[in-house]
């Protein structure tokens, strides 16, 4: 079983490079050394060069991780990126953050101007080691910077426990249509 490291452990173990002002908290642009591991987990802004990596992570996370909670037909309907240019435009049109480890992008998330968090995906090989937590802390910091007091998202069955652990609550269970399939997710929110 893969060893877990919580956000606190990342920080306790390592080396908060960026700031001393926010002890115990992660910060955008920060780098945190992974305990017992090699290299540094870093969250930074998305650039156009990250487009294909984010697509690959999106598809792999759905096919290899969310697939435990959704049927094969639902996964097939969800795991599709038909328009690369539209994907690139969406990623660039809002603050998007990527997590990078050992020179590889391993997760990403974003924040829309109204507080909507649209994306939270972590590569299957890097699950359960605090990557999404670090991304979420970065998103929350960006929201605070922008004066956004509430973040909301549509969490998959797979992601709901993660968001709950990080202080989100469920507003409603919903069923959304995707390419002819109906997928369950949860409208969730967190006040900052
Ligand atoms: C959901 C997801 C983003 C979580 O990423 P992650 O990097 O593995 O999450 P973390 O390691 O930061 O986990 C943070 C906390 O959430 C908890 N958690 C995460 N996934 C969980 C699960 N499926 N069940 C229970 N707890 C879970 C962890 O136990 C951890 O809690 P702790 O640190 O307090 O012990 C990842 O599993 C994923 O990519 N899933 C597939 C794609 C998906 O459904 N994305 C969301 C679309 S809305």
Q: Looking at residue 76, which CATH number applies to its domain? A: 3.40.630.30
Confidence band, pLDDT 50/70/90 cuts, at residue 98: very high
Residue 86 resides in a domain = yes
Query: If residue 181 lies in a helix (H) or strand (E), which one and from where to where?
Result: strand 181-191
Residue 164 resides in a domain = no
Pick from 163, 137, 191, 150: which is nearest to 27 by CA?
A: 137
What is the per-residue pLDDT for 1? Answer: 37
CB 152 within 8 A of CB 93: no
122 lines ligand 1 (CB under 6 A): yes
CB 102 within 8 A of CB 38: yes
Q: From the CA of 155, how far away is ligand 1's center (Å)?
A: 11
- Give the Cα separation of 132 and 123 in Å (integer): 10
Strand partners, 32: 41
Q: Whose CA is nearest to atom 27 of ligand 1?
A: 162
- What's CA 8's distance to the chain center, in Å? 17
Which residue out of 159, 160, 184 has the highest number of ligand 1 atoms within 8 Å of its CB and is therefore the one to mutate?
159
What is the per-residue pLDDT for 3? Answer: 41
99 lines ligand 1 (CB under 6 A): no
What is the per-residue pLDDT for 31? Answer: 61
Pick from 24, 19, 21: which is nearest to 137 by CA?
A: 24
Q: From the CA of 132, how far away is ligand 1's center (Å)?
A: 7
93: containing domain: 7-149
Residue 12 resides in a domain = yes
**12 has pLDDT over 60:** no
pLDDT tens digits, one per residue of 39-79: 789 999 999 999 999 999 999 999 999 999 999 999 999 99
How much is the average pLDDT of 114-127? 98
For the record, the structure tokens of 70 come out as 């959704």
Number of structural domains found in the chain: 1
Beta-carbon contacts of residue 141 (< 8 Å; ≥ 6 apart)? 25, 26, 27, 28
111 lines ligand 1 (CB under 6 A): no
167 lines ligand 1 (CB under 6 A): no
- Give the Cα separation of 85 and 27 in Å (integer): 30
Residue 61 resides in a domain = yes
**96 has pLDDT over 60:** yes
181 lines ligand 1 (CB under 6 A): no
Confidence band, pLDDT 50/70/90 cuts, at residue 30: low
Residue 161 resides in a domain = no
Q: From the CA of 68, how far away is ligand 1's center (Å)?
A: 13
What is the per-residue pLDDT for 136? Answer: 98
Residue 156 resides in a domain = no
Residue 170 resides in a domain = no
Region label for 165, one of left (φ > 0), alpha (ψ between -120 and 50) or beta (otherwise): alpha
Q: Whose CA is nearest to atom 28 of ligand 1?
A: 162
- Give the Cα separation of 62 and 123 in Å (integer): 9
Residue 188 resides in a domain = no
- The angle formed by the CA atoms of residues 97, 12 and 111, to the nearest 5 degrees, is 20
């Amino acid at each position: 079983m893969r060893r877990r490291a919580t956000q606190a452990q990342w920080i306790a173990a390592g080396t908060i490079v960026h700031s001393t002002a926010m002890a115990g908290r992660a910060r955008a642009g920060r780098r945190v050394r992974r305990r017992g591991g090699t290299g540094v987990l870093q969250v930074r802004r998305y650039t156009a060069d990250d487009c294909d990596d984010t697509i690959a992570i999106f598809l792999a996370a759905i096919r290899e991780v969310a697939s435990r909670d959704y049927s094969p037909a639902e996964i097939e309907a969800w795991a599709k990126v038909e328009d690369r240019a539209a994907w690139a435009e969406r990623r660039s049109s809002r603050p998007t953050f990527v997590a990078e480890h050992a020179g590889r992008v391993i997760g990403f998330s974003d924040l829309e101007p109204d507080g909507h968090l649209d994306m939270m995906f972590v590569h299957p090989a890097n699950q359960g080691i605090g990557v999404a937590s670090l991304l979420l802390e970065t998103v929350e910091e960006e929201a605070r910077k922008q004066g956004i007091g509430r973040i909301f998202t549509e969490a998959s069955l797979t992601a709901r426990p993660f968001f709950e652990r990080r202080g989100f609550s469920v507003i409603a269970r919903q069923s959304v249509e995707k390419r002819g399939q109906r997928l369950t997710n949860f409208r969730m929110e967190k006040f900052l």
